[in-house]
């Protein structure tokens, strides 16, 4: 049986359509549809149940050193009540998972892996999985702070990658300036028994309920990688253009030597953005060919951008062919594409 979050019944009452994701039965969309939910986040505020994402607690006097020796980024760049994006690598440099770390107290960290990877991340870090003892609501969009501000007592809505604790009525919440839509927003950690009341309050204040379909189209429009598509076996942070998440100077961590060797040899393939000239999108696994019909790469993620009004995609290509143009070849037909800068739209709020 798939896992369900504490909000499942509320999602059902709101008319959600469900999908299986990482072992969890999650809302993919609501009656208004994915495009409407996407636009609500870009122009106002939407709320997502992302409780399927893991939370692994790593705590104690050696917690900092354990994370420093295992993950790619450098925690010395931040401090308590801050969040950081980082990777867990295999010895060959492949990304086993991309992770957000919430440094919640001096010796306590909440490590947040992707749903399907929680068990492996827990084993790698020696932490404690508390996924089922909390819920996470992602309040995303330019209206998030204005909606949350009057509700949150004891703190102000946090800036990007900051963490605060407070109350919404009688509900205790931990709030981080994080999310995976590419725009402004926060994520709220709350006890499962309080999750329904919190989401209902956010909906009453004007947040639009959003599903995983909109979360995926939003992250793609922002050019953000998805584990299993842009990250995974045989794909390193350097392939994905995420060298900034690797702190070589901090000392040993799994995969460091492999990344140094890849850096010296030259990174191939590389991740780029592409777009069509029509609404028709490229799709994952489409083969990319150049003007001579030579295969030069493939689409890792594709979809329609509601803001740009065209099909967009992320693609792994040979760097010598990265300027394009391309054709995406599939079982039925093909699609002309050109290289595009990412993010695909202006996300400045």
At residue 348, does pLDDT exceed 90? no
Buried b (16+ CB within 10 A) or exposed e, 173-211: bbbbbbbbbbbbbbbbbbeeebbbebbeebeebebbbbb
The pTM assigned to this predicted structure is 0.96
Which residues contact residue 182 at a Cβ distance below 8 angstroms, ignoring those fewer than 6 apart? 218, 219, 221, 222, 223, 224, 343, 347
Phi, psi at 145, each rounded to 5°:
-65, -40
Cα dihedral sign for 32, 37, 43, 45? positive
Residue 313 near residue 275 (C-beta atoms within 8 A): yes
| Residues annotated within a binding site | 187
Which pLDDT band holds residue 332 (cuts at 50, 70, 90)? confident
DSSP, collapsed to helix, strand or coil, labels residue 11 as helix
128-182 pLDDT per residue, tens: 999 999 999 999 999 999 999 999 999 999 999 999 999 999 999 999 999 999 9
Of the chain, the percentage scoring pLDDT greater than 90 comes to 97
DSSP type of residue 71:
B
Strands 171-176 and 270-276: unpaired
235-267 pLDDT per residue, tens: 999 999 999 999 999 999 999 999 999 999 999
Which pLDDT band holds residue 347 (cuts at 50, 70, 90)? confident
| Residues annotated within a binding site for substrate | 187
184-204 pLDDT per residue, tens: 999 999 999 999 999 999 999
Could you tell me where the DSSP H helices lie in 290-341? none
At residue 1, does pLDDT exceed 90? no
Could you tell me which CATH number the domain at 8-51+134-221 has? 3.30.1360.120
Domain chopping of the chain, boundaries:
8-51+134-221, 52-129+236-253
- Fold match between 8-51+134-221 and 52-129+236-253? no
* Separation CA 207–CA 286 (nearest Å): 36
Buried b (16+ CB within 10 A) or exposed e, 49-69: bbbbbbbbbbbeeebbebbbe
Phi, psi at 9, each rounded to 5°:
-65, -35
| pLDDT of 111 | 98
Which pLDDT band holds residue 113 (cuts at 50, 70, 90)? very high
Cα dihedral 262, 263, 269, 272 in deg (nearest 10) = 150
**Average model confidence (pLDDT) across the chain:** 97
In CATH, what is the architecture of 52-129+236-253? 2-Layer Sandwich (3.30)
At residue 349, does pLDDT exceed 70? no
Q: Residue 238: how many CB atoms within 10 A of its CB?
A: 21
* Separation CA 164–CA 157 (nearest Å): 8
Whole-angstrom Cα Rg for the chain: 20
12-48 pLDDT per residue, tens: 999 999 999 999 999 999 999 999 999 999 999 999 9
Buried b (16+ CB within 10 A) or exposed e, 125-146: bebebebeebbbbbbbbbbbbe
Count H helices and E strands in the chain, helices first. 8, 19
Residue corresponding to tokens 């990319």? 288
Residue 59 near residue 108 (C-beta atoms within 8 A): yes
DSSP string, 96-140: EEEEEEEEEETTEEEEE--GGGHHHHHHHHT-EE-GGG-EEEEEE
């Amino acid at each position: 049986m798939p896992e369900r979050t504490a909000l499942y019944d509320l999602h059902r009452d709101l008319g959600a359509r469900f999908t299986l994701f990482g072992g969890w039965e999650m809302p993919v969309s609501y009656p208004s549809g994915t495009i409407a939910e996407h636009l609500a986040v870009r122009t106002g505020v939407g709320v997502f149940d992302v409780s399927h994402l893991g939370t692994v607690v790593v705590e104690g006097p050696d917690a900092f050193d354990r994370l420093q020796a295992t993950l790619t980024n450098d925690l010395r760049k931040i401090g308590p009540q801050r969040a950081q994006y980082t990777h867990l690598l295999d010895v060959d440099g492949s990304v086993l998972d991309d992770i957000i770390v919430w440094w919640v107290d001096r010796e306590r960290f909440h490590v947040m892996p992707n749903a399907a990877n929680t068990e492996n991340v827990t084993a790698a870090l020696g932490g404690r999985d508390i996924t089922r003892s909390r819920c996470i609501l992602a309040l995303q969009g330019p209206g998030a702070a204005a909606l949350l501000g009057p509700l949150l007592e004891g703190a102000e809505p946090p800036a990007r990658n900051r963490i605060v604790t407070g109350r919404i009525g009688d509900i205790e919440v931990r709030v981080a300036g994080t999310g995976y839509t590419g725009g402004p927003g926060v994520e709220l950690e709350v006890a499962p028994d309080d999750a329904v009341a919190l989401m209902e309050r956010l909906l009453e204040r004007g947040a639009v309920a959003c599903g995983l379909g909109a979360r995926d189209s939003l992250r793609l429009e922002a050019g953000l990688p998805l584990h299993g598509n842009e990250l995974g076996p045989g794909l390193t942070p350097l392939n994905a253009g995420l060298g900034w998440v690797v702190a070589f100077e901090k000392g040993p961590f799994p995969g460091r030597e492999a990344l140094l060797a890849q850096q010296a040899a030259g990174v191939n393939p590389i991740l780029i953005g592409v777009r069509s000239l029509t609404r028709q999108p490229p799709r994952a696994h489409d083969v990319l060919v150049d003007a001579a019909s030579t295969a030069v790469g493939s689409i890792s993620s594709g979809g329609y951008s509601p803001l740009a009004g065209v099909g967009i995609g992320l693609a792994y290509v040979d760097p010598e062919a990265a300027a394009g143009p391309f054709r995406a070849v599939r079982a039925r037909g093909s699609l002309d594409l050109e290289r595009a800068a990412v993010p695909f739209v202006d996300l400045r709020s």
